[in-house]
Structure 1
Amino acid sequence: MMKPKVNVAIISISLAKGGAERFASLLSKMIEAENIAVHNIIINDAVDYDYKGKLYNLGTASSSTFSVFKKIEKGYLLCKYLKNNNIDVVIDNRPRNHYIRELLTTLIYGSRRIIFVIHSFNFKNYFPSPQFLSQKLYRNATKLVCVSKEIEEGIREKLGFLNTITIYNPYEVVDTVVAEKVSDNENYILFFGRFDEKVKNFSLMLEAFSKSEIYKAGYCLYLLGEGPDLVFIQNKIKELQLDEFVKILPFVKNPQEWIAKAKFTILTSQYEGFPMSLVESLAAGTPIVAVDCKSGPKEIVKPEHNGLLVENHNAPELSKAMKRMIEDENLYNFCKKNASESVEHLSLDTISKQWKALILFDTND
């Protein structure tokens, strides 16, 4: 006799633009199975990524125009949806940094099994201060899923939680037929992601690119994405007199071909969680140059095997790494040869087994 379906709700800010949102879309694909029914619930009306299962858009379902009333209405609609659809498991994929809001949210979730995903080493986005408030919020959680081992270790050491597990972010093999087309004549290194200076540290990236002088060898820096700090980046490019060598490209849903044809991709973040851009780059066979920020890069980059990892906030060392990847052909070819194989353990199929085991074990124990 077949067991009844497990109804799982993945709750996210949206399904657009960001890494956590991209993860939510992949998670819906990973856990969709004969015995799991997926419900994607988004707070804001923004959908760029493909997903599996049902979609409930609180942004369009709510009718209030006044901000406070709209939030209250969304809470009511969420509570109603969880009840009417017999949701067994909630996977909360949002930032959670406001204690009162999160306390009310946990009341809405009720006695269901709750899995919270921690996407960043910037713990203040997920654990309200002071510490005892966070402990009250999370003490009854089924699991805190951390996207890197360094995040899990930090949560255990700093906050004392033991109900933790690390499950890495996966990559998805994308059909390049639908990818954005890129000219074969372009020589470039690539950043792709959100234009957020406080997180991504474009100042460091642009300064190191300028110092490296790899533009003299015909290589440009392409910045692919969008975000609140576009003007800041444009001004920084002008300040460093890099207008001729740095190109800003708009966000595209599928950057696969941009990634595959880049010489290498670059990450200079202040902090991360488990940066999917690095994983997606390696999966496409493209080496990486990254700073050793907290957290993720050192769990992805194998120095001189699939890329180069340098001390964070060190523009001279970063510029040397950029230059080395251009000039040292033996190193570059070796890293490129190893790139895709180095992330095989992060395939959608592999990571989906871990998520399904977590969900089904916790619902059937």
Structure 2
Amino acid sequence: MTNPPKKPLKVAVIGYKLAEGGLERVFGTTTKMLHDAGIEVHTLVLEDKIDYEFGGKLVAFGQYLKFVKYFKLRNYLKNQKFDCVIDFRHRINPRMEWVFLNFIYRNLKFIYTVHSSRLETYLTDNNWVAKQMIRKSYKIVAVSHFIKQKIESEFNAKLVKVIPNSVSIHSVSTTEKLPFDYIIAVGRLVPLKQFDQLIESYSNSVLPEKNIHLVVLGTGEEQTLLENRIANLNLEDKVHLLGFKENVWGYISNAKFLVLSSQYEGFPMTILEALSLGIPVISFDCESGPNEMIINHHNGILVENQNFTELTHKMNIFVEDEVLYQNCKTNAISSVAKFQSEVVINQWLQVLNYGN
């Protein structure tokens, strides 16, 4: 006698937007993964910014005023009778998170995701509220082992699971071929990414004289500051701020290597995407993320955290030591096999207790 078919799981995945940042891209790719696995997914977006791919049914609440928006959200969650809610929001405001805990998510099974080693970005800076969030949630999903250990250590939490960001190999367009050799950095133009200091490190390296350019993809508040820094260093013909690009993979796939110079990270998608395209990476050894993807001198180079002098030195090595560079390039794709979406989706299904 055959077992009856398993009832499809019904899941709401909530985020602020599907545009601009790495978190938002992970939000979108996760909804797509879950949808492709046969789960009924409702992608709930609290703002009306939608540029990235997503899976399932899209419901946007951005047209409503703030308080109306959250009443609408509560009613939608209650009426749809979801098996689980997965929360991809930044959670900074303790009062707002108290409202989510005691009103919007009341009597619901919900999972919080944490994407940064700065826990206050996802658990607020209020210790009491953070403990309530952890206690009332079904699970906490951290994107790195470091973040998991930090949550467990600071809050004595027991139900923290690690599910890294995932990557799928995209078909790469060749239309983004630029007429020069270049290295690339990707991210919002904000202080966290430290692109001003990256430009300085680049200017101090041998790359400009070797006619290897620096391309930066992203938009943000530091656009003018960075333009001024480039002008002051007389690098207008070598450093290119190309803004937001929908097909970032085309630009990454034609770069010599990717550079990450952030103050801190969670599990940066840009590293994962570059390696999956066969492009090695030079990155600061931030406390969370890069060292769970980069194996030093195997698929890239880890640089002492926040040491920009050393970053310049490592960029020089990567363009002067062809044997090391080609070795890292050869190993890049195979090094991230465990982060393929086909692997990561099974970790989500286990957390949701769905599947075999």
Asked if the contact 1:196–1:229 (Cα under 8 Å) also holds between the matched residues in 2, the reply is yes
Q: Counterpart in 2 of 1:99?
A: 94
For structure 1, the residue ranges without an aligned partner over 5 or more in a row are: 63-69
1:175 alignment partner, SS class? coil
Which AA in structure 2 matches 1:340? Answer: I
Q: Counterpart in 1 of 2:8?
A: 5
1:360 alignment partner, SS class? coil
Matched, 1:80 2:75: yes
1:126 alignment partner, SS class? helix
User: C-alpha displacement at 1:157, in angstroms?
Assistant: 1.1
Matched, 1:284 2:284: no
Asked if the contact 1:190–1:222 (Cα under 8 Å) also holds between the matched residues in 2, the reply is yes
User: C-alpha displacement at 1:123, in angstroms?
Assistant: 1.4
What value does the CA root-mean-square deviation take over the aligned residues? 1.6
Q: Counterpart in 1 of 2:252?
A: 259
Structure 1 Cα separation of the partners of residues 37 and 193 of structure 2: 39
User: C-alpha displacement at 1:35, in angstroms?
Assistant: 4.9
C-alpha change, 1:265 and 1:33, in structure 2 (3 Å) is closer
Asked if the contact 2:187–2:217 (Cα under 8 Å) also holds between the matched residues in 1, the reply is yes
User: C-alpha displacement at 1:215, in angstroms?
Assistant: 0.9
User: C-alpha displacement at 1:138, in angstroms?
Assistant: 2.1
Structure 1 Cα separation of the partners of residues 214 and 291 of structure 2: 23
Asked if the contact 1:204–1:313 (Cα under 8 Å) also holds between the matched residues in 2, the reply is no
Which AA in structure 1 matches 2:221? Answer: P
Asked if the contact 1:180–1:252 (Cα under 8 Å) also holds between the matched residues in 2, the reply is no
Structure 2 Cα separation of the partners of residues 116 and 184 of structure 1: 41
Q: Counterpart in 2 of 1:159?
A: 155
Q: Counterpart in 2 of 1:293?
A: 286
User: C-alpha displacement at 1:139, in angstroms?
Assistant: 0.7
Matched, 1:41 2:44: yes
Matched, 1:226 2:219: yes
Aligned-residue sequence identity (percent) comes to 34
Q: What TM-score, normalized by structure 1, do the two folds share?
A: 0.93
Q: Describe how 1:39-78 pairs up with structure 2 within 5 A.
A: 39-60=42-63, 62=64, 70-78=65-73
User: C-alpha displacement at 1:254, in angstroms?
Assistant: 1.5
- Map Cα deviations across residues 75-125 of structure 1 (whole Å, 9 max, x no partner): 111011112222121100001111111111122112221110001111121
Count of residue pairs the alignment pairs up: 352
Structure 2 Cα separation of the partners of residues 127 and 232 of structure 1: 31
Structure 2 Cα separation of the partners of residues 85 and 33 of structure 1: 20
Which AA in structure 2 matches 1:99? Answer: P
Asked if the contact 1:30–1:355 (Cα under 8 Å) also holds between the matched residues in 2, the reply is no
C-alpha change, 1:139 and 1:230, in structure 2 (3 Å) is same
Q: Counterpart in 1 of 2:336?
A: 343
Candidates 307, 313, 317, aligned match of 1:320: 313
User: C-alpha displacement at 1:33, in angstroms?
Assistant: 4.8
Asked if the contact 2:94–2:126 (Cα under 8 Å) also holds between the matched residues in 1, the reply is no
Asked if the contact 1:180–1:255 (Cα under 8 Å) also holds between the matched residues in 2, the reply is no
Which AA in structure 2 matches 1:300? Answer: M
Q: Counterpart in 2 of 1:129?
A: 125
Matched, 1:189 2:183: yes
Asked if the contact 1:89–1:114 (Cα under 8 Å) also holds between the matched residues in 2, the reply is yes
Asked if the contact 1:288–1:308 (Cα under 8 Å) also holds between the matched residues in 2, the reply is yes
Which AA in structure 2 matches 1:157? Answer: S
Deviates more, 1:123-132 or 1:271-280: 123-132
1:216 alignment partner, SS class? coil
Structure 2 Cα separation of the partners of residues 89 and 249 of structure 1: 40
Deviates more, 1:110-119 or 1:230-239: 230-239
Q: Counterpart in 2 of 1:268?
A: 261
User: C-alpha displacement at 1:26, in angstroms?
Assistant: 0.7
C-alpha change, 1:50 and 1:358, in structure 2 (3 Å) is same
Deviates more, 1:203-212 or 1:332-341: 203-212
Structure 1 Cα separation of the partners of residues 197 and 286 of structure 2: 13
- Map Cα deviations across residues 216-252 of structure 1 (whole Å, 9 max, x no partner): 0010000011122211211222233322210011211
Candidates 342, 352, 355, aligned match of 1:359: 352
- Map Cα deviations across residues 33-83 of structure 1 (whole Å, 9 max, x no partner): 5652000001110111111100000013x2xxxxxxx11111111011112
1:217 alignment partner, SS class? coil
Structure 1 Cα separation of the partners of residues 268 and 38 of structure 2: 30
Higher relative contact order (CA 8 A, sep 6+): 1
Asked if the contact 1:190–1:259 (Cα under 8 Å) also holds between the matched residues in 2, the reply is yes
**Greater percentage in helix:** 1
- Map Cα deviations across residues 174-214 of structure 1 (whole Å, 9 max, x no partner): 122xx3612364200001121112x1111321121111131
C-alpha change, 1:33 and 1:203, in structure 2 (3 Å) is closer
2:29 alignment partner, SS class? helix
1:139 alignment partner, SS class? helix
Matched, 1:108 2:115: no
Which AA in structure 1 matches 2:56? Answer: G
2:55 alignment partner, SS class? coil
Asked if the contact 2:177–2:251 (Cα under 8 Å) also holds between the matched residues in 1, the reply is no
Structure 2 Cα separation of the partners of residues 20 and 288 of structure 1: 20
Q: Counterpart in 1 of 2:164?
A: 168
